[in-house]
Structure 1
Amino acid sequence: MPFNHNDFYHPLLLRQVPQGARTALDVGCGTGKLARRLAVRGLSVTGVDVSTRVLDIARAIGPDGIEYRHEDGREATGRYDFITCVAALHHMPADAMAALRERLNPGGVLAVLGLGHPRSAEEWVKWGVLGPPVNLAARFAVHVGERLGGDPVLPPPPMKAEMPSMTEIRRDSAAQLPGRKIRILLFWRYLMTYRQAPRVPLSGN
């Protein structure tokens, strides 16, 4: 009974797109589902992933307007108004957040949907107490929907079991993304958002 926790939070991530955004980078894009949703909103989208298998699937699905690259998120080039990183940050070195920050245009937004080991009371309650029963209900609902609709299930990208604690995530992100905000979600996920300072116009003499 598949239920993709990352896909569930795509609408939340899409709400973080800054007004007037034109370009987006999806780090750890997998088979491109979020990249396609960003493209539907009119953004020029680049997706990067270290797995050639999922990139081949993403390219086969299309559309042709999305650029997919086989590279690590820290190697990405260019500047973007919106950067997403879904369940990929714990695959990357601790300094990856600073590298992604450098790829933001002034006023751009970085939105991370991440995983970490719980440390605070809120994390233990949401992930250890509330998460399992809600997850079971969601899995059942998805199972019923798939039986009725017959939609194909795409293979998941490679996963990594090891991940940092939320204490480490808070510490490292505070140093690399000053002013970032972290929100604890259900389904063992957190949302971290960071907005790059806007360009200050030069005053005339």
Structure 2
Amino acid sequence: MAPRWNHNIHYHRLVLDAVPSGARTALDIGCGEGMLARELRTRVPQVTGIDLDGPGIALAREAGGGVEYVQGDAMTEPIGPFDLVACVATLHHLDARAALARFADLVAPGGRLVVVGLARSDGLVDAPREAAAVLAHAVAVRRRGYWEHSAPQVWPPPETYAGMRVIVRDVLPGATFRRHLYWRWSLVWERPA
């Protein structure tokens, strides 16, 4: 069976490469069926995946992989702190400012927050990026196929790329914000030790 691929899975490597040296604990916010959480478990001894979606958590638990799965709200669940907090394609379901502040609170001293998010195009200024993404998507789907996850979806995202850049700068001073192909952006932020 060919490995699953979609735009979110494509950026799991970004999260895995950002795992801090010596990390003992990790949290995957919006873990869905637990694919990223299980990948993190190969690098981090204790991994927790959290998601509100009951059917997704049931599939994650069924897959196992030595991960603790919690059906709950990362905004209110009494959890943490963690050496790594990761969130892929979930932030646009939440109030971005409040969620980023909460996610930062879940990071242990010396730990890292990594978010891969979705945003809306900023109009004509983004037209070349949009065209490149459409072309790259067509090629990737032809080569790899496209796995459609079962989790709830929000489209269009409430924030633009420019708006997200401002929110990240305001809430997480010092964070690195980057735009990516396949209609994604990322941030990496470290809590001082």
When normalised by structure 1's length, the TM-score is 0.85
**What's the counterpart of residue 119 of structure 2?**
116
CA separation in 2, counterparts of 1:120 and 1:106? 39
- Structure 2 stretches of 5 or more lacking a match? none
AA of the residue aligned to 1:66 = V
Match of 1:186 among 162, 181, 184: 181
Bigger Rg, which one = 1
CA contact under 8 A between 1:81 and 1:109: conserved in structure 2? yes
Matched length: 187
Q: Which residue of 2 aligns with 1:195?
A: 190
Alpha-carbon deviation of 1:3? 4.3
Is this contact kept in 1: 2:83–2:110, CA < 8 A? yes
The equivalent of 1:203 in structure 2 is none
Distance in structure 1 (CA, Å) of the matches to 2:35 and 2:5: 14
Q: How far has the Cα of 1:131 moved from its partner?
A: 0.5
Kindly indicate whether the alpha-carbon contact (under 8 Å) linking 1:123 and 1:184 is maintained by their aligned counterparts in 2.
no
- Corresponding residue number in structure 1 for 2:153: 159
Q: Matches of residues 1-205 of structure 1 in structure 2 within 5 Å?
A: 3-63=5-65, 65-76=66-77, 77-94=79-96, 95-119=98-122, 123-126=126-129, 128-143=130-145, 155-163=149-157, 164-198=159-193
Shift in Å at residue 189 of structure 1? 0.4
Relative to structure 1, is the Cα distance of residues 88 and 131 closer, same or farther in structure 2, using a 3 angstrom cutoff?
same
Q: In structure 1, what residue type is equivalent to 2:16?
A: L
Gaps of 5+ in 1: 147-152, 199-205
Q: Return the offset for 1:119.
A: 2.5
Q: 1:25 to 1:132 in 2, by over 3 A?
A: same
- Quote the Cα distance in structure 2 between the aligned partners of 1:119 and 1:12: 24
Aligned counterparts of 2:68 and 2:188: Cα–Cα separation in 1: 24
- SS in structure 2 of the partner of residue 111 of structure 1: strand
Q: Look up the equivalent residue of 2:37 and give its one-letter code.
A: A
Shift of 1:9: 1.1
Cα drift, residue 118 of structure 1: 2.5
Letter in 2 for 1:195: E
Instruction: Tell me which residue corresponds to 1:202.
Output: none
- Please give the alpha-carbon distance, in whole angstroms, between the structure 1 residues aligned to 2:20 and 2:127: 31
Moved over 4 A (4+): 120-123
Partners of 2:105 and 2:127 in 1: CA distance: 33
Separation in 1, partners of 2:107, 2:127: 33
CA distance in 2, matches of 1:155, 1:44: 25
Aligned-pair identity (%): 34
